[in-house]
Amino acid sequence: MRLSRLRGENNEGLLAGLIILLVLVMGVVEPGFLGPATFANVVRSLLVDLTFALGMLVVIVSGGIDVSFTAIAIFSGYGVIVLMNDLGADGTFWPFALAALTGAVLGSLNAAMVAGFRLPTLIVTLGTQGIVRGALIAFIGSQYLSNLPTGLETLARSDLFAITTGGGTARMTLLALPVALLCVLVALLLRSTMLGRSIYAIGGDVESARRVGIRVGRVQTFVYLFAGALAGFGGLMHVTLSRQANPYDLVGSELDVIAAVVIGGASIFGGRGSVLGTVLGVTLIALINNSLVLLGVPSAWQRLAVGLLVLLGVGLQALGQGRRKSTPILAEARS
Amino acid sequence: MPETAIVLRARGVRKTYGGVTALREADVDIRRGEVHCLAGENGSGKSTLIKIVSGVEQPDAGTITLDGHDVGRLTPTRAVELGIQVIHQDLSLFPNLSVAENIAMVARVASRRRLVSRRDAMALAKATTERLGVSLDLTERASNLPVAQRQLAAICRAFAHDAKVLFMDEPTTALTWREVDALLALVDTLRAEGLAVVFVSHKLEEVFRISDRVTVLRNGEVVHAGEVKDLDRPTLVRVMTGQDVTEDRDVTELPPDTRPVLATRGLGRRHEFADVSFSVRAGEVVGLTGLLGSGRTEIAEAIFGMRPADTGEILVDGEPVRVRSVHDAIRAGIAYVPGDRLTQGVFLGQSIRRNLIAGSIDRLISRTGRLRDKAVQRTVTTAVESLRIKTSDVAAPVRTLSGGNQQRVVLGKWLARSPRVLVLNSPTVGVDIGSKEGILQVLRDRARAGMGVLVISDDVPELVSVCHRVLVVRRGRVVDEIASARMSVQAVTDGLTG
Amino acid sequence: ACGSSADLRPDGGNSGGNSGAPADLRFVTVVKLTGVGWFNRMETGVKEFATETGIDATQTGADDAGPEKQVKIIQDLIPQRPTAIAVVPNSPESLEGVLKRARDAGIKVVTHEASDQKNTDADIEAFDNTAYGAHMMDELAKCMGESGKYANFVGHLTAKTHMEWAAGAQARAQEKFKNVTRVADPIESQENTGVAYDRTKELLTRNPDIKGIIGSAATDVAGIGRAVQEAGLQDKVCVMGTSIPSVSEKYFADGSIDKIFFWDPAVAGKAMLKIAQLLAEGKQVEEGTNLGLPGYESLKRFPGNPTTFHGNAWIDVDKSNAAEYKF
Amino acid sequence: MTGMQTVAGAALRNAHVSRLVALTLLLVVVFSALAPTVFPTALNFQSIAYSVPEIGLLALAMALTMITGGIDLSVVATANLAALTTAGLYIAAGGETATSPLLVVAFCAAALLVGMACGAVNGLLVSRVRVSPILATLATMQIFNGIAILWTDGKAQYGFPDTFLWLGDATIAYVPVVFLIFIGAALLIWHIVSRTGLGTRIVLVGANPVAARYSGVDERGVLMRTYLISGLLAGIAGIVIAAKSTSASPDYGGSYVLLAIVIAVLGGTDPFGGRGSVAGVVLAAIALQVLASGFNIMRLSPFLYQIAQGLILLVVMVVELRRGRLLERLRGLLSGRSG
Ligand SMILES: Nc1ncnc2c1ncn2[C@@H]1O[C@H](COP(=O)(O)OP(=O)(O)OP(=O)(O)O)[C@@H](O)[C@H]1O
Ligand SMILES: Nc1ncnc2c1ncn2[C@@H]1O[C@H](COP(=O)(O)OP(=O)(O)OP(=O)(O)O)[C@@H](O)[C@H]1O
Ligand SMILES: [Mg+2]
Ligand SMILES: [Mg+2]
């Protein structure tokens, strides 16, 4: 009983254990790995993916899947920079709000198709991905922009805190703050709001949700607008953190995010998943990538590792389903 | 009985699906504190009416008033807010959520609150179960509950929120005899609290036991509305079907030396059933009854290889056969009509033709795997004619057929193989009286032609009407056998409730 | 009846016309992908060539660098029967089949960045990779004061040209700058700025005394420069490498990036078309051919590959001349 | 030729297929009018016939798995692995000098076996381990691709003899051999889907897997075979790719996954399972290639084509799967405006 509690509702415990193991092994293999610098580096490298993963979590819990978020993200992030350059405008906060808004507007295309026409989400979002990316490069721009507005440049270099140790300075980027806040917000949304519970309900059984009076169309609309907004926000964060805007970025890296959410215990069939699991899943993938890079392993192994991890994650889930508790019928002969 | 105020009134409700008219100008009045029965054959429009007054479907014409006010365009949300509650036939629970949260969900939606907590859900669920006197593990996931408890959860959910009108669409089909009793008692309590309960059922006993008034639909039209006490059984059957139907025992005794076609010896499966030994002779119809959750479905599915037995053996025509899979069972000449027609029996969107050949593809292909067109045609035509499936086009999807005809298609799928043994699980559930008699007649005919038939059912009059013998299952074991000589409704009922 | 696709070739010279008069010629340049700075710059060259010569020369390309899209574009070009196709392949090997069909249909093929291409009439490279690597080392060593440790990034460990540049640089260091040593094997940036940035941070942590870093993919130096800048090591670490001005210019100001090298795609684009013109006029490209373009005044033939030539067309850019190159 | 007539007859009776025929003809007429000297030429149609097969084969594989309610996102990775197998074997056998026609047969068979092995992995995951097809094939896509990169160091492989390359280059009566291979494979799949017991079982499993199990359909076996056939088709696509491009590479065809889905859906495959038309998929593949060629010839931006492709996917899904809902919405809009 205690053990199963430790394991967590969505295997969170297992994941945490795996992460600790990986960190310890890396600490032994690569001295200097354990330290604030690595921590800050890993956090920095997972912020964008985590933001996307939160959006993906909400979509997956609602029973869908979204592969258009990278296109939406880079459209929003790049588009905002282009707009700021054209207007000669500068700012720190409002560009993010605008990027999120842009993302939500683009997400409404998914919302209309999924909520309005009840079409399969994978295929709808594949279509949206093509449209959004095509529109970005055909109509917004295709140039690599190396100069960001000053406000964003400054933000990119702002630290939440910096720790100087013998090995160098570990800088925790300021952008970790909004992402942490987002994690808390999404967790609250999913756990403690009617909207959040409706998302779980829809993911469990859409028809039942409709029948108890949950406005399925509205909830789904929210889900895809919200995922779009998070994608937009994450897109500008990617641009800011890398201090350059490249319209060819991000698209093609959907799997890492989907994999992280699935490894984090969310069920692809909907209705299950948690923010904690997602955070752990993103961390695990970031750590694996980081460790493999550190050990000089070619990037092809990363693909292989992520693919295998996904299979492992969903395989475990599938096996867990099979071993579901069944109520005994038989009155066994008492001995 | 004094006339109480009308809570819900539907006037001139019309609904067509494509070309099918499901409801035409239907009028219904539901009064406060009454139990109102909606009766009618399959496809007569009962469910459609419920869907319309609960906002799930929009009517093409007609008005609905609640407490005298026109409700306008109804959505499920609006209906819940107005106090209209439905327990759908499929329960509509959320498998991934806890029982407590399932129970609280309707009340949460209706309260329009934006913030919710687990604690509130638990408190509400506890209060509701206590009020109704049911015991449920509230922290368990709904998907982990047995069917009967899920039914209870669905009922609790409907009661957790203050409702004015409660619709129950065939709530007893998944329930056993004893659970039905408990449910009906509950309905009595609700009636006493002033709630209007609308009850859909094909089982006439229930209608007579519980209802105050009845509205009978036929082909989407209201053909009768009035007090139940003014009706007797034959009259009700006549209004429903437009004809007289008998339910008498019609069984031809077999010569004593008839050999068994199916026998089981010490069949068992861990945690489910044990020591199951019985036989079915050629030409015999054997009933297998027991409360839901007694293991009767598990026994049938073990014989069919769906969830194979761990111990014991199965004999067909006296020869032991290894049944490890459905394929093995079919090859041994065993066929099975499953209990849940919609999810296990038919392919709704596929043509009648494809449904009919689904069970005998292996026989309809040439050595190269090609389907033999003529053989397919022959199979389909034979099934449609011999089972009198009402359709003009076998290429039309099964979805377009009524429930009874859909069940005939499932039967036809297996009869096409002429199996040695036909196992049927609740073959007439959700089938109206006219079709039911037709289906039972098919079973008798096939038995007379030498097939062994095993019918799982808890519809006692049906068992009495068609079976040579009835076996009673309790907690995974066969505990009683009612032979032909002592067969009666009373005897079977006693065995069941034992 | 079996035959090859050439069966459909119109007989005689009424197709693209081999008369050599500029008005009859049509050249199409197919680039890796459209819209990016590098190939926009190449298009400038193509347009200049068209105005200068009066030849109908245009540029096209796909929306991403997928080889299959380039195959499709060239396949669709064949029925239009241009005189010549100039191609910058994403994957030279994947194009062999369709280039063969194009040549069978009587179209001249000129390639760039594809020194092993078989189905081409001529391949033109901006320079010899080993010499280019050596040149980068000369510049880096000068900046490092001819001693200290350096590291070399490549886009992928499997990227042939990047590995040749790195090998060229290393060979030059061993032969000429004995005190300049490489700290590790080439480091993979996965053509990703973020990865280059992370790896540089680790590199700086583990080798506090490092004095030079070379990048290979165009975005490498941006990631390296960012990490160096954040560590405040602009003046201690020399960052150089192959890149383009638009990517690196903002790091020039404070010395986070010291110098970049590239070849001008506009000139390379023109060079391909000049060769196409020579071929259309029935002339040959040979050792020493002068295309009349900076860096391509005297072409050299690659040893062992008679159709492949290179010029000497690298350009060094630092903050003093970055503004001259707008791409 | 009666077989061909049955195919054509059955195809034309299907309203969706006749709409696709009309669409393809319309596209041909429009582009012919816009580019009269280039588009309606034998060479251009031959060009299109060279382009269709690889994507058409992948779309058939995709459609087949979609009929069972699944999907195979790993088709392109599988095709590349199969192509690399042929390349690897030829390199080992002496490259361009290994001209024996027997080797063509042997090495193509090896490629098909590799394709089917990949299909078997997917089949096992989907039918035995019960991983959802989206995730299973998303993961195997990464894994197959990773294996291909590790195997080749990410480099394209070449060294095919002319006997093998003949497949990719030659024409028979002006029709490219690769196109004939595609049509042959399509006929085979059409036969399987609409004329065999397996085909009926595939459709039944897609329509209602539970009912299929209760009907004695060996669901696992059917899924396994479906993914095997999907892998086989991907293997054929791999051979076509290798023969056409004279090389094999781990990163070829990245854009084909989306395109194959677009074609399958445009061809009338229901992504929820239980319905699909092989003739539709073939026509959709041709129609989209005609569109792409038209865009290329008209020199429209490739990004516009990307947008068009996405829009076509969404519009076709709405019109084919949700026509009723669309009309309902439109009617609602109209009545809302007039009222
Ligand atoms: N807040 C909103 N913003 C944008 N669109 C919305 C919003 N709420 C609803 N819609 C659209 O209006 C339609 C009807 O909404 P509603 O909530 O009634 O849907 P439903 O009845 O639950 O589901 P359906 O419309 O699919 O039957 C939805 O399909 C949705 O696209
Ligand atoms: N969604 C639908 N699409 C098409 N026809 C439908 C649909 N729903 C119901 N019908 C048709 O409408 C008629 C009435 O169906 P309804 O479900 O109301 O019958 P019912 O009285 O509940 O029958 P049963 O006792 O079998 O449940 C039937 O002919 C049925 O086939
Ligand atoms: Mg009903
Ligand atoms: Mg019914």
Top-confidence residue, D281 or B190 = D281
Question: Which residue has better confidence, C74 or B256?
Answer: C74
Mean residue pLDDT across chain D: 90
Question: What confidence score (pLDDT) does residue A175 get?
Answer: 94
CATH superfamily of B260-333+419-497: P-loop containing nucleotide triphosphate hydrolases (3.40.50.300)
pLDDT of residue D9: 53
Burial classification of residue A5, based on how many CB atoms lie within 10 Å of its CB (0-12 exposed, 13-18 middle, 19 or more buried): exposed
Identify the chains in contact with A, defined as 3+ C-beta pairs within 8 A: B, C, D
Check: CB of residue A41 under 8 Å from CB of residue A159.
no
DSSP B240-271: HHSS--------PPPPTTPPEEEEEEEEEETT
Find the distance separating the first CA and the last CA of chain C, reported in whole Å.
52
Interface touch C35/A294, C-beta < 8 Å: no
What does pTM read for this prediction? 0.86
Residue type, D55: I
* Residue A2 pLDDT grade (very low, low, confident, very high; cuts 50, 70, 90): very low
pLDDT of the residue at A206: 92
D333 half-sphere exposure, CB direction, 13 A CA radius: 6
Q: pLDDT digits over B226-271, tens only?
A: 898 888 887 887 887 776 655 578 888 888 888 999 999 999 998 8
Cβ-based contacts of A298 with chain C (< 8 Å): 156-158, 188
- The residue ranking higher by pLDDT, B322 or B158, is B322
Pocket test for ligand 1, best of A205, A218, A225 (most atoms within 8 A of CB): A218
pLDDT > 90: percent of chain B: 46
Mean pLDDT on D33-47: 91
Determine which of D246, D257, D300 to mutate to test the interface with C (most C C-beta atoms within 10 Å). Answer: D246
Q: Nearest Cα to B36, choosing from B45, B21, B44, B46?
A: B46
- In the numeric block, which tokens belong to residue D298? 């008209």
Token match 């004061």: residue? C145
Which residues have C-beta within 8 Å of that of residue C321, sequence separation ≥ 6?
Answer: none
pLDDT at position D25 is: 94
pLDDT (0 to 100) of residue C37: 83
Say if C and D touch: at least 3 Cβ pairs within 8 Å: yes
User: Who's near B350: CB < 8 A, 6+ residues apart?
Assistant: B397, B398, D203, D204, D207, D274
Q: Of C156, C231, C250, which is closest to A147 when you measure between CB atoms? A: C250
pLDDT (0 to 100) of residue A322: 54
CA distance C228 to C39: 29
pLDDT at C243 over 60: yes
Dump pLDDT digits (tens) for B286-304.
999 987 678 899 999 999 9
Predicted confidence at residue D13, as pLDDT, reads 56
- pLDDT of A328 reads 63
Q: Please check whether the domain covering A2-334 is classified as CATH 1.20.990.
A: no
- By alpha-carbon position, which residue is closest to atom 7 of ligand 2? B17
Q: Within a 10 A sphere around the Cβ of C300, how many other Cβ atoms?
A: 17
**Where in chain A are the domains?**
2-334
CB contact under 8 A, A169 and C231: yes
* Structure confidence by residue, pLDDT tens digits, D86-135: 999 999 998 888 889 999 999 999 999 999 999 999 999 999 988 889 88
**Segments making up each domain of chain D, as ranges:** 3-31+41-334
Q: How far, in Å, from the CA of A120 to the mean position of ligand 2?
A: 26
Q: Residue B224: left (phi > 0), alpha (psi -120 to 50), or beta?
A: beta
Ligand 2 shell residues, CB under 6 Å: B 17-18, 20, 22, 40, 42-48, 402-403, 430
Q: Does domain B3-241 have CATH number 3.40.350.10?
A: no
Touch A-B: 3+ C-beta pairs under 8 A: yes
Question: What local confidence, expressed as pLDDT, does residue C12 receive?
Answer: 37
Residue of chain D minimizing CA distance to A120: D271
Please give the angle made by the CA atoms of D183, D53 and D271, to the nearest 5 degrees.
Answer: 85
Do residues B163 and B85 lie in contact, with contact meaning Cβ atoms separated by under 8 Å?
A: yes
What's the CA-to-centroid distance between B59 and ligand 4, angstroms?
20
At B141-151, the pLDDT tens digits run 888 887 778 87
pLDDT value of residue D1: 41
Question: What is the percent of chain B where pLDDT is above 70?
Answer: 96
**A51-60, B36-45, C314-323, D76-85: segment of lowest average pLDDT:** B36-45
pLDDT of A334 reads: 38
Question: Average pLDDT in the D276-285 region?
Answer: 95
CA distance, residue D157 to nearest chain C CA (Å): 7
Contacts for D257 with CB less than 8 Å, ≥ 6 apart: D73, D75, D76, D141
Higher per-residue pLDDT: D58 or A330 = D58
| Domain made up of D3-31+41-334: CATH architecture | Orthogonal Bundle (1.10)
Ordered by start, the domain boundaries in chain B are 3-241, 260-333+419-497
pLDDT reported for residue C2: 42
- Whether A216 lines ligand 1, by a CB cut-off of 6 Å, is yes
